[in-house]
Structure 1
Amino acid sequence: MSDAPRDDAVVRKDGDVPAREELRVPVRGGELAVSRWPAGDPAAPVALALHGITANGLSWARVAHHLAGRMTLVAPDLRGRGRSGRLPGPYGIAAHADDMAAVVDELGLGKVVLTGHSMGAFTAALTAVRHPHLTTALLLVDGGVGFPGPAGLNPDELLTALIGPAMRRLSATFPDREAYRAFWRRHPAFADRWSPWVDAYVQRDLVGEEPELRSACSLEAVRVDGVDQFREEVSGAVRRLPRPAVLLWAERGLMDEPQGLYDERRLAAAGLDRERVRPRLVTGTNHYTILIGDEGARVVAQHLLDAAAVPGADGRVDMSSR
């Protein structure tokens, strides 16, 4: 297999995906790498999309595909990840939230539909709280809602229990890109769901030279941000939102296990105001494929279009999520 295709080389059956633009945005300490898939109409609404704790902005490419040029999608590589991997700390969810305000201001995005996946959902919620003037709507994707963890574990132990395998990957080296591809193809979440979209996303993560390629993610950033999610300022942001939100949650977990991050019991334990945060189960998805799988990305895209009141292909607005 050849190296991963550019995400803008993957085409829709009925037309080309909007070409991805690679931007650099000045933030504290340097520049943030930002991917942008522009809408056909410059006046179209904008979604600002935030990725997970060890991910990068290309995790949103398949959502951009399903938006099909009806909205602009802007997806940064967060500080300490992807092509923003060299940005220094201090890290933390509040730092990411302030970086997002800088992205909106620097790119002149105006008010945005704010969305995030996993840790990015916690970041989106805190961004909405710290910078309420930036957002018109909020969509959380399998994250953003904290719930009580197992008794007796401190935040570092909780983080290891949740993403221990991912953290071990950050300390590993790989002889070539094919080895990294093979590593990910063995991951239970992707084993029978591999696609060019997943390939492009994981290949963006690699830096260095053969035979010592490694993940661009800063282990320090992952540790700081991961523990930060358990602080009340961050985990409780979802209860202080300036406007209602939708939470899309995956049926299955990070390793494709039957128990996902959320279920009705955990959502009840979180004490959500269901008038302010409206949970929606996305069946047949796990923590990754709710964003990168075809059906999951389609659902996320439709909710973004609904949030921005953008008509569908038939000219109607789907109001089912409202």
Structure 2
Amino acid sequence: MRGGRGMRDHQDVGVEVRGGTLAVRRWPGAPGGGTVLAVHGIASNGLSWTAVAEALDGVEVIAPDLRGRGHSGDVKGRSSMAAHADDLLAVLDRFGADRAVLAGHSMGGFAGCVAARRDPHRYRALVLVDGGLGFPVPGDMDIDQVLHAVIGPAMAKLDMEFADRAAYHAFWAAHPAFAELTGEAVRTYLDRDLVGEEPRLRSACRPAAIREDAEDELRNPAVFAAIHELRVPARLLWAERGLRDEPTGLYPPAVIESAALTTASLHFVPGVNHYSILLGRRGASVVASHIRAAL
């Protein structure tokens, strides 16, 4: 099917994984164009990759809704980076992809690092988009405190109800990092995060999955170590601005420098924030160019 004027053909496919059926958006590619397996962030869904897929015409792009998010909200079982890595292999197998470039945004970068470290024979390269590099959080902070401090509205939405889709769009339009993010692709991405009926719509994200993944992503030494133990070519793209469009990004220059990464090349992306690096046209163009280079 087609997603609208000027948009690429796509398919929505269910992939069986442990605990249920994973919902996957696939944009078919041309013969020899290569395959990208794209992994979204902690409270997001696979349609966050739409702008990148549009910029990768001719490349097969496969973007699952991770368990506990989007149309995969009913997949049962504990969530973790290792569980996502298992699911990603199931997705590759379902589409007959022997090897793919693995791309991950935010938490998807951590899942990507774990997957690429564990199964390097299935991934040609790894493209990390403002994610994958761990940073310590206070051990005495409750994980909800950490999440509210780091992702703010993306956590607050879990306890909210919305009268209609327009109300949910307005909630995100008020977010400073979304000021430049408009258009049909963004609206469709937001709509995929809604379940229920008007006037009691709510986020499709399962709170337990968000908390389980946050504990694993932020406090598991093995997940922290994954980016330093990669055996596939990797690159880390880091946004100039932060999750609330702060002047300093998720990864300040001092953090990038102190990480002393030897397993990934580093690429600063100016003029974008944590969200617009993926959802905005300019950021998506940069991400797509790095994915093409990896292909």
The question of a shared fold, defined as TM-score above 0.5 by the shorter chain, is answered with yes
Q: 1:80-91 to 2 correspondence within 5 Å? A: 80-91=68-79
2:232 aligned residue (229, 234, 243): 243
Please show how residues 285-304 of structure 1 align to structure 2 within 5 Å. 285-304=272-291
Change (3 A) 1:284 1:302: same
1:8 correspondence with 2:3: yes
Contact 2:181 2:279 in 1 (8 A): no
User: Against the structure 1 CA distance between its residues 95 and 161, is the aligned structure 2 distance closer, same or farther, given a 3 Å change threshold?
Assistant: same
Relative distance call for 1:215 and 1:151 in structure 2 (3 A) is: closer
Aligned pairs for 1:135-150 (under 5 A) are 135-149=123-137
Q: Distance in 2 between matches of 1:168 and 1:299?
A: 30
Q: Does residue 224 in structure 1 map to residue 212 in structure 2? A: yes
1:196-217 CA-to-partner distances (Å, cap 9, x unmatched) read 2211111111111111101100
State the TM-score, normalized to the length of structure 1: 0.87
The answer for the alignment partner of 1:32 in structure 2 is 22
Corresponding residue pairs, total: 294
Divergent runs of 4+, >6 A: none
Q: Is 1:177 matched with 2:172?
A: no
Decide whether the 8 Å contact of 2:81 with 2:216 is kept in 1: yes
- Say which of 109, 113, 129 aligns to 2:117: 129
Partners of 1:68 and 1:44 in 2: CA distance: 9
Post-superposition offset of 1:227: 1.4
Contact 2:148 2:156 (C-alpha < 8 Å) held by counterparts = no
Amino acid at match of 2:158: L
Among 6, 11, 36, the residue aligned to 1:21: 11
Aligned positions of 1:255-294 closer than 5 A: 255-273=244-262, 276-294=263-281
Deviations 1:94-119 (A, max 9, x none): 10111101111122111000010000
In structure 1, distance between residues paired with 2:98 and 2:3: 25
Shift in CA distance, 10/256, structure 1 to aligned 2, threshold 3 Å: farther
Distance 1:103 1:301, change over 3 A: same
Whether the 8 Å CA contact 1:251–1:258 is kept in 2: the answer is yes
Q: Deviations over 1:164-183 (max 9, x none)?
A: 33111011110111111111
1:8-36 Cα shifts (integer Å, max 9, x gaps): 2151xxxxx32110000010011100000
Q: Following superposition of structure 1 onto structure 2, how do residues 15-164 of structure 1 map, counting pairs within 5 Å?
A: 17-41=7-31, 43-69=32-58, 71-149=59-137, 153=141, 155-164=143-152
Q: For residue 155 of structure 1, report the CA deviation from its aligned partner.
A: 5.0
Report the alpha carbon displacement of residue 154 of structure 1 after superposing the two structures with TM. 5.8
5+ long unaligned stretches in structure 1: 1-5, 12-16, 309-322
- Tell me: CA distance 1:39–1:19, structure 2 relative to 1, closer, same or farther (3 Å): same
Deviation at 1:235, TM superposition (A): 1.6
Identity across matched positions, percent = 50
Give the whole-Å Cα distance in 2 for the aligned partners of 1:270 and 1:112.
Answer: 27
Q: Which segment is superposed worse, 156-165 or 28-37?
A: 156-165
More helix by share: 2
Pick closer, same or farther for the CA change 1:265–1:7 going to 2, 3 Å: farther
Asked if 2 retains the 8 angstrom alpha-carbon contact of 1:10 and 1:196, the reply is no
Contact 1:129–1:237 (CA under 8 A) maintained in structure 2:
yes
Pair 1:157–1:178, CA change in 2 (3 A):
closer
Q: Which moved more, 1:217-226 or 1:140-149?
A: 140-149
User: Secondary structure at the residue paired with 1:109?
Assistant: coil
Structure 1 residue 195 displacement after superposition: 2.2
- Cα offset, 1:40, TM superposition: 2.7
Q: Secondary structure at the match of 2:213?
A: helix
Q: Is the 8 A contact 1:148 1:269 kept in 2?
A: no
Determine the C-alpha separation between the residues in 2 that align with 1:47 and 1:67: 10
